[in-house]
Amino acid sequence: MLSKDSKIYVAGHRGLVGSAIWNNLWQRGYHNLVGRTHSQLDLTDQVAVRQFFDQERPDAVVLAAAFVGGIMANSLYRADFIMQNMKMQCNVISEAYAHGVSKLLFLGSTCIYPKNAPQPMKEDCLLTSPLEYTNEEYAIAKIAGLKMCESYNLQYGTNYIAVMPTNLYGPNDNFHLENSHVMPAMMRKVYLARLIHEDRWDLIANDLGKRPVEGVGGAASRDAILSVLSKYGIYNNKVVLWGTGTPLREFLWSEDMADASVHVLLNVDFSDIIGIEKYSSVHYGAATDGAVDRNHSAGRGGAIPSLGEIRNCHINVGTGKELTIRQLSELVVRVVGFEGTVEFDATKPDGTMRKLIDVTKLHSLGWTHKVEIDDGVQRLFDWYRKNVKM
């Protein structure tokens, strides 16, 4: 059990989910928090990660750092998506174990599930059929991460939990057109198309000054700005989006995800997930001096034949509700106040057609979402405008 004095390292504390988890912990009275920016600590650097754990010796770790992006980024940077994420996960999880971390929370993604998985997707449909090709590398990395947590628990009696959030959005989202997820990218496109139509070049300059597109910032000429924006389907009072608009997606407000994550971190153990009351109850955590007995087998799930095969111990985190990409675009258009047209380019890929998750396990562990999509989109747009200093 973590106390208010426990030192908690939040990897990725400046990101969409990590920043929300940090704030949630702080609001609950957990103030002994540790964070490092990418410039301060490169999680793909094994030596640097080991030195960090040697210095800080956290009691708990939240692994929210990841190399992420939307369908375009996943297509362009396939090697980066698998290698960068695998390196980060391997380094943090292995050093957490080596330094006796008592609790670790690993954040994955629901893209781990097969392309044609039965809907809604339960945790046990993992690895039952092929993945969606457009995000295969990222999915494989995240599957490896959750399996690392599961395997460490079974071999060493650790208490590492993996949660798989659905599509997230919220404060500190990534609105860069080259590599952002569907909702922030769509929102920014619609807003910029509106500003072009309204001839609000002061606001466009602010926007691109904050987030340049392919190196084109707010000080560039109008022709240069219009040229680069057109590459992303942004025109005068018109937006072109990828795909047919028919795929269904589930979205979760990032602060809800943070609340679910902290709830799991503080209240859920591996034994709760696999339903064994006394599973490794005295072995969670390591020796106080940080030394770990790598040969101990007490509490090892794999050493109890009556348990059978233990797998799919991760937890889906979402709302259990969905809407089409076209419906999402209509909601964004309404919130942004856009009066132009939205077209869909069916020559571009749709990605997975449906990704609704089953959240029965999450509900059974005592947590349900609070923010509905209509309210969340309005909150996101309010945050976006505020953070481009308009």
Report residue 68: phi and psi, to 5°.
-130, 165
Give the residue from 355, 310, 316 showing the smallest Cα distance to 122. Answer: 316
Strands (E), 8-159: 8-11, 33-34, 60-63, 103-107
Q: Mark whether 191 is an active-site residue.
A: no
**Residues 258/17, Cβ–Cβ less than 8 Å:** yes
**What type of residue is 75?**
S
**Residues 317/359, Cβ–Cβ less than 8 Å:** yes
Cβ partners under 8 Å of residue 37, min gap 6: 14
Q: How many CB atoms lie within 10 A of CB 200?
A: 15
Site of tokens 């998750």: 357
Active-site residue among 30, 97, 138, 235?
Answer: 138
∠ CA 109-12-75, rounded to 5°: 45
Catalytic positions, written as ranges:
138
